[in-house]
Amino acid sequence: MQYNSTRDNSICVDAAQAIKTGLSAEGGLFVPKSMPKVTLEEIDSLKDKTYNERAYFVLSKFLTDFTEEELWNCINNAYTKAKFETNAIAPVYELDNTNYILELWHGPTCAFKDMALQILPYLLTTSMKKTDESNEVVILVATSGDTGKAALEGFRDVNGTRIIVFYPDNGVSEIQKRQMVTQEGNNVSVAAVKGNFDDAQNGVKKIFTDNEYKELLNRNGFSLSSANSINWGRLVPQIVYYFSAYADLIKGGKITCGDRINVVVPTGNFGNILASYYAMKMGLPIAKFICASNENNVLTDFIKTGTYDKNRDFHTTISPSMDILISSNLERFLYDLTGNNDAQVKEWMNELNTTGKYSVTPDVFNKLSDLFYGGFSDDNETMAAIKSVADEYDYVMDTHTAVAKSVYDKYVEETGDTTKTVIASTASPFKFNQSVLIALKDFDYVVGKDEFTMLDELSQIGNTPIPKSLAELRDRPVNFEIVCDKDEMRQIVSDFLAVD
Ligand SMILES: *Cc1c(COP(=O)(O)O)cnc(C)c1O
């Protein structure tokens, strides 16, 4: 399987090269040259397989330059009962005979980014070896919260890698901060940057574009890389769980192989929902894609009108992982919808860069509207969804999942569609305990309560144990107390790697 760039079809690399490079040199994203096809018989046979076997089935179709042994090694290091607290890895919970919740948050950081970031380090180090790269990879991350911790957990103690995460001193929640400063592992470092997320991100960008510094690192045996969500190695593992959910529905007798289902995905960067679209292109019977946004509803408008326009106010919401105005993975979708028209995609991305907006052609808009429904939910509607699902089903959702459920309910009301539907659940309710408690009780209820009290209370109300990784935070020693100015970040990297 070869990969092209969305902005230049003449670029053609294998999977290892695509994963090692991350972003194509001219700014495009790597996409498979053609979609591998699977048959209904193959899909049916997945019902009796483990998650790891299902992962092998899907990944082996895309990473054809990896040996069988290399691929199994990546998969078996990533998806273990020890890390996910369940053999199912991504279990499906039945709310009723139409609504099925695909729980993607059983990993070590309690959010769905673990599904990709647990395997990425192994895909990356294998890709380095395969491309004869002898340098050690140094992952630099600027984080506003979730990605930093998920990357730290993914890369910790992975041979041939080091990771440094910078977070804004006063820009992450108390629990997110604790998750990071108590990080364990012999190849990790964490530093707070005085300033906001933009300061941390700009500091990281500056290091990435400092050629002289990169040369110095290179002489010392280090190559910089990012764990960015546009890397093909982060997208491809996400295709797996849509097949897995479908196989579980067959296995449970809920559907017959070949029946079409709908999927609902709470969306930010468009990675997760794109993975479900790729699954459909491979042959998974999906009828409708319901793209759920919060008040940052740039995708809702795009799906309704065909115009993407990021020139709008940015809203801080109770589903912060979806507070995004540029959905980078949309580029891969447009490339597919235009029939791999690299020049067209490049033009739209240039327009987005210069004017902040672009409009797709009527042909692309028609294809899009046939398959996708876009909707959004404001914070009040999201809270109401948490409360009503808890009351009706005794099931507690996090705020991101609740955005999906709320938008799905609107879709059903508008269309009367009764197709069985998989709702992607992207975080554990414990991770956003304060907002969830306010939804279940009221605002006064949380006043003056610290994070750990709220975890305990949510555990009692929802009658579920606190995930191990969050419960343990209480007693974990703090390992990182570095606080730096934004112009000291390069020095922090040098100190950690002992170069200069
Ligand atoms: C990252 C994230 C999302 C958005 O996923 P995309 O792939 O960026 O669309 C949704 N929910 C949670 C909890 C996340 O961490």
Q: What is the CATH number of the domain that holds 292?
A: 3.40.50.1100
pLDDT of residue 199: 87
470 belongs to a structural domain = no
Distance CA 122, CA 128 (A): 10
- Tell whether the model's pLDDT for residue 173 goes beyond 80: no
CB of 267 closer than 6 angstroms to any ligand 1 atom: yes
Helices (H), 131-270: 146-155, 174-181, 197-208, 211-219, 232-251
Q: What is the whole-number distance in angstroms between the Cα of residue 383 and the centre of ligand 1?
A: 18
SS3 275: helix
Distance CA 64, CA 81 (A): 27
User: Whose Cα sits closest to atom 14 in ligand 1?
Assistant: 321
CB of 266 closer than 6 angstroms to any ligand 1 atom: yes
Percent of the chain beyond pLDDT 90? 88
Helices (H), 252-323: 271-282, 298-305
**Interior CA angle at 467 toward 463 and 472, to 5°?**
125
CB of 112 closer than 6 angstroms to any ligand 1 atom: yes
90 belongs to a structural domain = no
pLDDT of residue 373: 98
262 belongs to a structural domain = yes
343 belongs to a structural domain = yes
58 belongs to a structural domain = no
416: left (phi over 0), alpha (psi -120 to 50) or beta: left
Distance CA 390, CA 187 (A): 41
Q: Are 29 and 351 in contact (CB under 8 A)?
A: no
Q: What is the whole-number distance in angstroms between the Cα of residue 7 and the centre of ligand 1?
A: 25
Q: What is the whole-number distance in angstroms between the Cα of residue 146 and the centre of ligand 1?
A: 9
316 belongs to a structural domain = yes
Can you give the pTM of this predicted structure?
Answer: 0.95
Q: Which of 20, 61, 113, 177 is catalytic?
A: 113
Strand spans (E) along 388-494: 421-425, 482-484
**Residue in this structure with the two tokens 């199994």, named with its chain if needed:** 72
498 belongs to a structural domain = no
Residues 206-259: tens digit of each pLDDT: 998 899 999 999 999 999 888 888 899 999 999 999 999 999 999 999 999 999
- The CB-side HSE value for 258 (13 A sphere, CA atoms) comes to 3
CB of 271 closer than 6 angstroms to any ligand 1 atom: yes
Average pLDDT over every residue of 137-151 = 89
CB of 51 closer than 6 angstroms to any ligand 1 atom: no
Residues 276-305: tens digit of each pLDDT: 999 999 999 999 999 999 999 999 999 999
Report how many domains make up the chain. Answer: 1
pLDDT of residue 170: 78
E strand or H helix at 292: strand 286-293
Ligand 1 atom showing the smallest separation from residue 272 Cα: 7
Distance CA 13, CA 33 (A): 10
Q: What is the whole-number distance in angstroms between the Cα of residue 466 and the centre of ligand 1?
A: 21
Q: Are 90 and 424 in contact (CB under 8 A)?
A: no
CB of 294 closer than 6 angstroms to any ligand 1 atom: no
pLDDT of residue 237: 98
Q: What is the whole-number distance in angstroms between the Cα of residue 401 and the centre of ligand 1?
A: 10
CB of 268 closer than 6 angstroms to any ligand 1 atom: yes
- Tell whether the model's pLDDT for residue 90 goes beyond 80: yes
401 belongs to a structural domain = yes
Contacts of residue 219, defined as CB under 8 A and 6 or more positions apart, other chains included, come to: none
Contacts of residue 210, defined as CB under 8 A and 6 or more positions apart, other chains included, come to: 490
Structure tokens at 301: 């408008």
**Catalytic (active site) residue 113:** yes
| Boundaries of domain holding 357 | 233-431
